[in-house]
Every structure is written in C-alpha cells, then in structure tokens.
Amino acid sequence: MRILIVTTYGFDPAFPSRPEQIQARALLRRGHTVVAHEYHDRRYPGQTPRCDWLDGGIPVHRAPTLGFVAPTALLRLLAETRPDVIHLHHLRSLLGYQTVLAARRLGIPTVLTVHGLLHDGDLVVDRERPLEAPLRYENLLTTPQRLLRSLARGAYPRRAFRNYFIHAPLLHVDHTVALSHGERDLLTKLGVEAAKISVLPNALDFKLYADLLANTAPAAKTTHPTILFIGQLVPRKGFDLLVRALPTVVQAIPDVRCIMVSHNQAGAAELRRLAEAGGVTAHLDVRGRVSEAEKLRLLREAAVVVAPSRYEGFGIPLIEALLAEAPVITTDVVACNEVISHERTGLLTPYGDVEALAAAIIRLLRDPDLGRRLATEGRREALARYGDDLLAANLEHLYEQLSHFRS
C-alpha cells in the first residue's frame, strides 16, 4: 500500500523516537510505500529543508502554511500518485482540515491519531492541569451548526473559525486511533462513533532500542541511590511534586540523589525555589537535553524512575523505563494507569499526593527486591505490548479494512 502520513513536526530528524517516524519505518519494513507531509517553519530547528529523506527512503515534504491552507501540500496530494490511505497525526494541525476535505473528494480513506486530547486548550480550562476542572465538551466546534451558533452568540470570528477548522476533522475522518481506553471514552463524548475508534498505543522501535542497548555500557554501580526524572519542567509533568516530596525522601535516605533531565527548562526557577525551600538543592542534579544513549544509561543506573504526571497523552518515557528494567512510579491518571499496573509493573500514586509519592519512592529505595520484580515484569509487558512491528501489523489490518470498505 501507499501510505501518506500528515503531521505537524513529527519528522524532525533530531527526534527519531517520535511516533510518526516509528510508524513510518515499521510500515516501510513491511513492504509499504510511505510518504510524509508536515509543516515547513524556519523558526523550528530541523524543519528548514522543504524536502528531506529519512533512512530507508521515506520522503518528507514540508509545506508552508497560510492559516489552514498549505497549497504545496494540497498540490502534491492532487498531482502525485494518490495514496491508498492517509494517516493524520495530532488533532490541532493546520494541515488537517484541507487534507480531510481533499481526501473525501478523492475517495481516499483517512485515519486520525489524536495524541493527547487533554492538551487541547478549547476542551480544558488549564492545559497543565486538565483534570482539575470539568471538561468543556460543548466548546469544541465540530460541525457547521455549532460554528454558526457560536458566531450568533457573539464569539470572536477568527477564534471560532480556528476552533472549527481544528476540530471538524474529528467527525469527518473514517477512523480514529486513541492511544488509551481513557482517550477513547473522551472521544465518544465528543461525538465520535465508538465503532470508528481503535485503541492502539504508541510503540517503540525495538531494533533502534536494541542497537542503543548493545552500544551502551552496563549500568554502573553507584554509591548513592538515584531517583531519575525525565520530562519537561512544566506543571503537567509534576516536577514540582517530586521536588516537594524530596525532603521527606532525604530525611529517610540521606545519601539519595535526584537527577532531573529536561529539554524544556521553563520551570527551572520554580524548581530552584522549591529545592531551596526544602533544603534539598545539594541532592539535585538538573540537566538539559541528553543523547538517546545517555538517556538509556541513566535509566539503567536509576534505582527508581519517577514520573509524577498530572496527565499524559500516552507516556513514551514510561515505556522506555520499562524496557530498561527500571522500577517506575507514576500517577494514577490517564494514560499512566494503562501503561503501569499497580504493584505488578510499577507503583501508582494518587493525583497530586506528595506524601504518597515520597512514601512510594522510599519504599522502592529500601526494597530493591521489589524494584527488581516490578522491573522484570514491566520489561516483559513492554516487549509484549509496545513493539513497532505489532503496531504496524495492527495499522496494516485497519488500512486494509478501510480500503476494502471504500472499494
């Protein structure tokens, strides 16, 4: 089959583990032809060339956008060999609306992977703490009727049309992929037919991971037990909860250290303030972006990996930790609680509960046998559920069903 993947910035070569790239490589290995369309934005690192080639011969065409129109992307879709199926990634995409309209006109089946529905500022009150207020389902303008009613009530036209162009594809694609069962339930509340939703979690490129593993030194013996946090320094990732839990952990285990790795240092000042207030600055090691190999080394050396998220669209770092056989603690929220099974593949703590988080960390640091048991079972489950080959096979089956239905 010829598959067109349409996304935002998913094919940045600096991030080979992004879901779109993993999907593309896995489908290519199964004998399919894969082409990608995404934004062209000179302000974004890695996005300068109008056309790039990924390993294996996957062409990535980057189109400049004029609002919700990207003429070059549309011309390529119309003029080049038409794909058998189009797979869109991310709901809030400037390329989504025109792609879905063109696909419907051309009779090409479409699939949409939403990627974190609760990142949507039209749906949630606070994107960093989306679970702390009721969701605004009525706010999403998915139909012309909703758009007209919104305008009649005095909505700002530019904002209303943007809302519509972003969300209308939800009800026009042929099939939607949810990354978790929790996300599937949210989609049905937005009017997406349950029969048109599949739950297919993101995957990891096991070959890429195995190559990294083979070229990474074995985990070193450390003199101090290490807590590892990998994620953006933003409230959604819960970095503040970990820093607030750290004084209790240090009191129980004085030689502990906490490494925090983040390419987004937005909350660095708040982190320093909390660390100073808690008297744990000396126990913190805050780092910027690290290589994939360095990340793997840190995961293998960690006594516990802590991801105290307030919400996750899926949670790739959790899967990476499981594959590295690192004991994991995360929050009992969507979609963390579908990746981690409490007391079997890791530990779950209640939302925002600093005391429970500290207690879970202390428990794993004091009971390495429990950590090893959880890590062993976690790796076994990750290998069984999150391989890129399994995802590609499931997508292939879905594409074939859609193409057969259209023919």
- Strands 197-199 and 226-230 turn out to be unpaired
Give the pLDDT of residue 25: 94
Q: Is the dihedral of CA 159, 161, 166, 168 positive or negative?
A: positive
Asked if residue 223 and residue 345 are part of one domain, the reply reads yes
| Number of residues that make up the chain | 407
Give the pLDDT of residue 115: 93
Asked if residue 152 and residue 21 are part of one domain, the reply reads yes
Stated as kind and residue range, the H or E segment containing 77 is helix 71-79
What is the domain extent for residue 163?
2-203+387-406
Asked if residue 214 and residue 131 are part of one domain, the reply reads no
What CATH number is associated with residue 339?
Answer: 3.40.50.2000
CA-closest candidate to residue 174, choices 240, 252, 86: 86
3-class DSSP state of 329? strand
Tokens read off for 64: 């400049």
Asked if residue 358 and residue 218 are part of one domain, the reply reads yes
Class of residue 56 by CB neighbours under 10 A (exposed 0-12, middle 13-18, buried 19+): exposed
Q: Which whole-number Å values give the CA distances from 113 to 5, 173, 222, 339, 344, in the listed order? A: 11, 10, 41, 18, 29
Domain count, the chain: 2
Asked if residue 178 and residue 218 are part of one domain, the reply reads no
pLDDT along the chain (407 residues), means of 10: 94 85 95 93 69 85 92 89 94 95 95 95 96 96 96 95 97 97 96 96 86 70 86 97 98 97 94 97 95 90 97 91 95 95 97 98 97 96 95 97 77
Asked if residue 180 and residue 110 are part of one domain, the reply reads yes
β-partners of residue 349 are 331
- What distance in Å separates the CA atoms of residue 238 and residue 236, rounded to the nearest whole number? 5
Tokens read off for 221: 């013996």
Give the pLDDT of residue 47: 62
Give the pLDDT of residue 46: 61
